[in-house]
Every structure is written in C-alpha cells, then in structure tokens.
Amino acid sequence: MIPVRNPRTGEVDHQIEPATSEQVAAEARRVRSAQPAWQALGPEGRAETLKRWAEAIEEQADALVSALSVDTGRLKIARVEVEGLPRTIRRWAGRAPQIIAGLNVRDRPSAFPGVSISTRHVPYPLFGAIAPWNFPVVLSTIDLIPALLAGCAALVKPSEVTPRFVGPLKETIAAVPELERVLAFVLGGPETGQALIANVDYVCFTGSVATGRKVAEAAARCFIPANLELGGKDPMIVLASADPVQAARTALRASVVASGQACQSIERVYVARPVAERFLKTLVDEAGKCRPNFPDIDHGEIGPFIFARQAEVVQAQIDDACAKGARILTGGTVERLGGGLYLRPTVITNVTSDMLVMREETFGPVIPVIEFDTVDEAIAQANAGEFGLSAAVIAGTAHEAEAVAARLDAGAVSINDGALTSMVGDAEKNAFKLSGIGPSRSGDQGLTRFFRTQALIRQNGQPLPLAAFAEGG
C-alpha cells in the first residue's frame, strides 16, 4: 500500500494499492485488443465518442472537484481543471477529423519513373502517460485526448501523490463503454510507471528531469518514442519601457498561481534599473496582500504545498540564498497551518547566480529579482542555466518585447504577459535544453505525433527484371 497525505491536514487519510507489473500488463492487453475497432471507428466516430465522455465528466463534475480539491488542497484551481476538461475534449474533437483528413496523400507521382506514392498515417496502437501531482487532472489528460482521437488505446498512470480524483474519473469513463474498452488508468509509483513503459508503444511523461532521464532510458531499451515535458526555471525580463506597476502584477500572478507549483511559473525576474524601484515596490506591496487559503479553502490566493518534501526543497533554497547574502523583502518562511505547509509569496533581492534559487527549479511562490543595465546582460542571464521551458518579456511595445524574445533560449515566450502556456493550448512549441524532448504537445502537432507514416509505393508499369542489375549489362 502507498500512503497518501492530505495537503491541508498533513495527515495520511488515504492509501492506494499500486498496480503490479502483471496487472499493468493485463490492462495493456485488454485495451490493446480493443484498439483496432477504435481505429476503425474513424476520426468522426472517435470524436463523437469523446464528446459523450465530455458530457459524462460534466455530470460528475462535483464529485471530481471534491476529490481533486482534497488531492491538491485548493478549490478554485480544482474547479478550473475539472471544468476545463470537457472544453479541451470538445476543442480537440472538433479539430481532429480535419487535421487527420489533411494528412493522408494519395497517388503522388514519384521521382522514380512509373511509380506513385500514397502516404497513410497509422496510430501507435498503445499510448501511455505518466503524470505528476501539480495539476493532476490536466496533466493526466493533456496528451491522452489527442492520442485517443488519433486512434490509440491508452494507459495512464497519474501521480501516487494525488490519486483521489481517479475514482470519479473512472466512473465517467465507465459511462462511455466504447471508451472504457480502450482506456485504462493504473495507480502506483515508480515501479508501476516502469511497467507502463514496458507495455506501451509511445510514452508521454510529465515530471522532473531526474525521473525523465529514467523514463527516457527505459523507453530507449524498448525502442519506443518518449515525449518528455520536464522542469523549468522560467525567466521574465522587464524592459525599461515597460509599465512597472503592470509588470509587477503580471510577475506576481505568473509566479505564485498554484503556489508556484507549475512548470511554467516565473522563477526569476530581470528588471531594467530605471523601472526597478517602482516594480519592486508594487511587487512587495501586492505580494504582502496574498493570504493562505486557510482555514477556509475558498478564501486566499496561496494553497498548501501538495507534496510535503517540496516545502523542504523550497525552504532550503531560500535559506541557501540568505546564507549567501540575499535579502528577503516579504515572505521567506514555510508556515504550518492546521497541518498544511504554506509559503506566502517570497520576494528576494541581492541574488547571485551561484544561489540554488537562481539555478534549480523552485516549484514554490518565490520571486528572485535582479536589476540589469543592458538588455544584452539581461538576455545572457536569462539564457544561463540548463532549463529552456518558457520565458516572458514585458516592454512598452510588443515589437520591442518580441525582438528580445527571439534571442531567448526557451520553447515559448509570453509577450507582455507571463506563463501564457498554462492557458493557451494551441501554440506549437518544443521544450528546449533539459526541459524536455519530443514534438509539441500543443497545436496540431499534439495530435500528429501519435501517427507513424506508412508509404504505399505503387508500381504502375513493369517491375524491373533482375537483368537490369546484371554486371556488364
């Protein structure tokens, strides 16, 4: 049994029985055997089926929100996750038949005389997803929906830290029998994750760099593609032409939503010296107004740490920064409230690149701020480090911000906003550097990645005889 802690009370009030490798293999066989019929249903048939799933999710929304809010210790974002799921399903279901229709090419003449080529797109039979705990519903389904629409069967392993939402979600799947035949959720930790990789044909992993490496190694042994979406250390650059008050409010939201437990959180801010004072004053004032959502879950901006160990990581980074000369302007200490662990937004200055808080992913509501004199210097610092997930640039005009964005080593850059990738699902992007590898999970590529290309090469004339290759001929 794996004990599951409640992030609001700190108590272990739930447990899961991890699926064994035999159980994972049995689920894989079950959904794999139904995949040919699912593929034969065609894009429209699959889209219609998924729309019925969206309806079933809406019917179970209250049960899903209440389980997810216990998993994560927050209510508003639990609602946003659950209410967003049917919308995402319908958006993909509306788009998928058109994307798929545009892929296949029939009878194109080849450069080779007498031959024509047709191109088919064949789904990977069994897709697998391994998800983290920070947005349990969104990140268990983000790759799943386009994979199902492509015609794959699917096996999903959510995080063992936040498994409560899976019960009500399974009920919504059971309400759509065609879907239940090709979709299975399995619960468990690392071993269950490894068993999943051993059974699927394509794996999408969202999580840390350390685990991503293990997933990539296991996938390489099986010769299956591994699409990895990993950590980030997203920088925001605030140029001298920016409105510092608006920039500070944007930085705060993009850093502390979900208590900073988001891969695309702004984790470093580089602000031009002429606007730095007003920027910092607003940031500190507004950060100081944020409240933990305790004792009432439906009041306040800051939820508890979902994963207790993460609170230790964040506190250790803050302590390391202080020991090396940083100044905390607000926040700075993890508080225990009713057994939950909370950190108010923490603004830090006097930070240097040797501090952990500037090098490693924080995953908490911490905003280190550095002033800069030249744009080149800001870009060089923003590009330092091993992550390249996303970034943000704020300037007086979009044109000026985009010129800086084009020089950033990151897969997506929010222009005059921050962390837009958390809200915008149709922009194609790759994760750069250690933040991941593989095709885009958003935009049309989010669907087309689940197809293999099959060529039908037709001889329209006479096949060449062996004599055409004979020596001296």
| Polymer length in residues for the chain | 473
4 binds ligand NAD (CB under 6 A): no
Selected binder of ligand NAD within 207, 365, 368, 418 (CB under 6 A): 207
Which of 274/425 has CB closer to ligand NAD?
A: 425
Which of 252/263 has CB closer to ligand NAD?
A: 263
Which of 128/244 has CB closer to ligand NAD?
A: 128
Question: From residue 245 to residue 284, what is the string marking binding to ligand NAD with x (rule CB under 6 A)?
Answer: ------------------x---------------------
- Give the closest residue to 202 by CA, choosing from 151, 162, 147, 160: 147
Which stretches within 327-386 are classed as H helix? 356-359, 375-382
Strand partners, 372: 272
d(CA 393, CA 382): 11
Binders of ligand NAD among residues 128 to 147 (CB under 6 A) are 130-134, 139
Residues 238/220, Cβ–Cβ less than 8 Å: no
| Binding segment toward ligand NAD, per CB under 6 A, in 37-45, 229-237, 269-277, 337-345 | 229-237
Which stretches within 307-457 are classed as H helix? 308-323, 356-359, 375-382, 398-405, 445-448
d(CA 359, CA 370): 14
Between the alpha carbon of residue 305 and those of residues 261, 358, 399, the distances in Å are 8, 20, 38
Selected binder of ligand NAD within 27, 71, 201, 229 (CB under 6 A): 229
| Binding segment toward ligand NAD, per CB under 6 A, in 38-46, 75-83, 90-98, 190-198 | 190-198
Count of residues engaged in binding ligand NAD, rule: CB under 6 A: 29
**Is there a catalytic annotation at residue 229?**
yes
231 binds ligand NAD (CB under 6 A): yes
- State the Cα angle at 368 between 364 and 369, rounded to 5°: 150
**What is the 8-class DSSP label of residue 23?**
H
Q: Give the active site residue among 263, 301, 360, 400.
A: 263
Pairing mode of beta strands 202-206, 226-229: parallel
Tokens of residue 411, six digits: 């897969």
| Binding segment toward ligand NAD, per CB under 6 A, in 91-99, 103-111, 124-132, 336-344 | 124-132
Q: What crossing angle do the helices spanning 42-59 and 61-72 adopt, rounded to 10°? A: 70
20 binds ligand NAD (CB under 6 A): no
Q: Give the active site residue among 229, 267, 361, 400.
A: 229
- Give the closest residue to 330 by CA, choosing from 377, 293, 275, 368: 368
Question: From residue 345 to residue 384, what is the string marking binding to ligand NAD with x (rule CB under 6 A)?
Answer: ----------------x-x---------------------
Binders of ligand NAD among residues 159 to 188 (CB under 6 A) are 159-160
Catalytic residues, by residue number, are 229, 263
Residues that bind ligand NAD (CB under 6 A): 130-134, 139, 157, 159-160, 189-190, 193-194, 206-208, 211, 214-215, 229-232, 263, 361, 363, 389, 431, 436
